[in-house]
Amino acid sequence: MLTLPCLAAFLEGCSKMLIFNPKGPIGESERSIIFVAFGLMLIVVIPVIVMSIWFPLKYRASNTKAPYDPKWSHSGKIELVMWCVPLVIVLILATITWRETHRLDPYRPIASEAAPLDVEVVSLDWKWLFIYPKEHIAVVNEFVFPAKVPLSFRLTSDTVMTSFFIPQLGSQIYAMAGMQTRLHLLADATGVFAGQNQQFSGEGYPRMNFDATATTPEAFDAWVRRVRQSPDRLDAARLEELRQPGVPAGPLYFSSIEPGLFDGIMKKSVSMPMPPEGTAAPAHAGHGQ
Task: Supply the pLDDT for residue 286.
Answer: 40
Q: Check residues 272 and 54 and name the one with the higher pLDDT.
A: 54
Q: Say if residue 6 is exposed, middle or buried (CB neighbours under 10 Å; 0-12, 13-18, 19+).
A: exposed
Per-residue pLDDT of 14-66, as tens digits, reads: 446 888 899 999 999 999 999 999 999 999 899 999 999 998 888 888 888 87
The residue among 267, 283, 264, 265 whose CA lies nearest residue 275 is 283
Q: What are phi and psi of 166, to 5 degrees?
A: -115, 95
Residue 104 near residue 29 (C-beta atoms within 8 A): yes
Band the pLDDT of 251: cuts 50, 70, 90: very high
Band the pLDDT of 150: cuts 50, 70, 90: very high
Q: Say if residue 240 is exposed, middle or buried (CB neighbours under 10 Å; 0-12, 13-18, 19+).
A: exposed
For the whole model, what pTM was predicted?
0.79
Per-residue pLDDT of 55-76, as tens digits, reads: 888 888 888 887 777 677 788 8
The residue among 182, 181, 194 whose CA lies nearest residue 151 is 182
